[in-house]
Copies of this chain bind each other. A is one copy, B any other.
Amino acid sequence: MSDPAAGTPTPPPPSPWERERPARTHVTPPRAPLSRERVVEAAFTVLDRQGLDGLSMRQVAGELGVTVSALYAHVSSKDDLLELMYTRLFGGFEMPAPDPERWQEQVRDYARAGRKRLLSHRDMARISMAHVPFTAELLPHVESLLAVFRTAGLPDRIAAEAGDLISTYIDGFVLEEGMWQDRAARHSGDASSLARPDLGEMAAEMQNYFASLPPGDFPHLRALSGLMVTGSSDERFDIGLEIILRGLASYLPDPDSAAHTAPEAT
């Protein structure tokens, strides 16, 4: 946890399915007039202000006080830019050295940290969802996660699937969080209160809607409406995560640790 380099070996050569980027001509001078990094930075600024649908090459250029065509000297396409943003978001992600005694805790930390990064920029989950972490920069993270699963004692075919499952869960959950925020923003002051979209008001309205359903037709939805709406997103995230962790734990050879959260005494 306090050792960022632990479990993260050197990046591998580029994989054959990676979009090849034009090799940097040479090392950037002290204060570059425009660089790949500055373009990515500006793109994040535009993303946070306008959302993914408002993120255009022209907007990024405008943010940098430059013509659109100037961007294409540093970035080969918009897709390339999005991939750079995805890679930069997860760059320097701390991965733990696998500890069989604490594997569930480690996966929990990993998932929470991933969600936190996705939440740090608007619509980032939508960008993440469109990419696969098998790039040179991100492969060490995949390796470390697999290490945690295998060291814990999970069968290989389960461990191979677990990484995907967890990543999909994180992306999907944050994506949905963002959708509710967008909805709440559009719902209240149209464009005025876009800063703090009243999520509580949205939740209340949803709950009213569920409560207004014909009781005979939607008994379960009515009964659970409180739970589906109330409660922080953090709690809901942890519950889904726990379901997955318990499912994984059920594949451990030791039956004692199968259906319990804290396998401290082994």
**A residues apposed to B, CB below 8 Å:** 9-10, 12-13, 15-17, 129-130, 132, 134, 139-140, 142-143, 146-147, 150, 156-162, 164-165, 168-169, 171-173, 175-176, 179, 183, 187, 202, 205-206, 208-209, 212-214, 216-221, 223-224, 227-228, 236, 239-240, 242-251, 255, 258-259
Contact = CB atoms under 8 A, between A and B. Distances in A.
A243 B247 contact: yes
Nearest to A157: B227
A240 B173 CA distance: 17
A98 to B, nearest CB: 9
Contacts of A173: 164, 168
A9 B217 contact: yes
Contacts of A16: 187, 205-206, 208-209
Nearest to A248: B243
Contacts of A159: 220, 224
A174 to B, nearest CB: 10
Number of copies: 2
Contacts of A206: 15-17, 134
In order of increasing CB-CB distance, the 4 nearest A-B pairs are A247-B247, A9-B217, A168-B172, A243-B247
Interface of A is mostly: helix
B214 A12 contact: yes
Given A173-B168, A209-B16, A259-B255, A221 B139 contact: yes
